Amino acid sequence: MSSSQDFDGQVSFFYLTKTAAVLAALKQRSYERLAVGKESRLLDLGCGPGGDVFALAGMIDPSGQITGFDNDIGMLKQASTAGAHDALKDRAAFIQGNAQDLPFQDNVFDGCRSERLFMHLDQPERTLAEMQRVTRPGGKIVVIDTDWLSLSIDTPFPATERALSEYRLARVLKNGYSGRSLYRQFKQCQLADVQVEVYPLCVTDLDLFYFLTMQEAIEEQALAAQWISAVQLEDWRREIRRAADAGCFYASANMVMISAVKPEFT
């Protein structure tokens, strides 16, 4: 994991494993939208340590295959050595590479899925076009991402809240507006049966909030960059801790899932 002074939005194996439990229901819904069959050949783009790959592998027969694709070789090593999934490894493959230039032929997958990847991409439209290219006609494409501008925190210091949000969007994430942009991007690709599902993620545990949002790293970097002052940060932290101690801390953000079908004819 990056230190708070050089955090660039990328996260650790431990982070992805813990957040998977928080997002379990949303993940399950994304599997349903993929319409997984027993012989499906699926791509999980930005697969991280492979949790979704193995979950999908458990839904298919040995004649199918789930391919996990990620740019982080360390994550892929974690996935390929996950002993708890030995029984499913013949149905899973892991490949390292660039999501904007997929090393697959056209029309080879029955479905493609991506979760919380697009926020890190500087050319998300190109990645979506690649997902469309490698999906067979009639196959499903499912993308989940966060609309980080929807992050809302109950605080008596809304100006500090806005400043920290703006720092995250301007200085940390390449594509922090991704969640709200997905529908437009899917429509521009002329995909069929485009469906939108929005999942509000509400957090009332301050420690969980800081963990899920990497908030401490955002705060420390914003302070170092003089985006906010030390007084602002001290006041902000004091009041949200006071709310947590009183059992009334609240924050929320929207997760957006878009699913579509690649048309049979273009």
pLDDT, tens only, 210-254 = 999 999 999 999 999 999 999 999 999 999 999 999 999 999 999
pLDDT of the residue at 146: 96
Say what the pLDDT of residue 19 is: 79
Question: What pLDDT is recorded for position 2?
Answer: 39
> 191: burial class by Cβ within 10 Å (0-12, 13-18, 19+)?
buried
- pTM of the predicted model, to two decimals? 0.91
**CATH number of the domain where residue 94 is located:** 3.40.50.150
pLDDT for the residue 80:
82
| Separation of CA 99 from chain center | 14
Question: What does the pLDDT look like over 115-147, one tens digit per residue?
Answer: 999 999 999 999 999 999 999 999 999 999 999
Q: Is residue 24 part of a domain?
A: yes
Share of the chain above pLDDT 70, in %: 92
Beta-ladder partners of 66: 42, 92
Residue segments in the chain with a per-residue pLDDT below the cut of 70: 1-16, 83-84, 266
**Reading across the β-sheet that carries 192-203, which strands appear in turn?**
92-96, 65-70, 41-45, 109-115, 135-153, 251-261, 192-203
Give CA separation, 70 vs 96, 143, 165, 189, in Å.
5, 15, 27, 23
- Domain membership of residue 121 (yes or no) is yes
* Number of separate domains in the chain: 1
Domain that holds residue 72: 13-261
Specify the pLDDT at position 265. 73
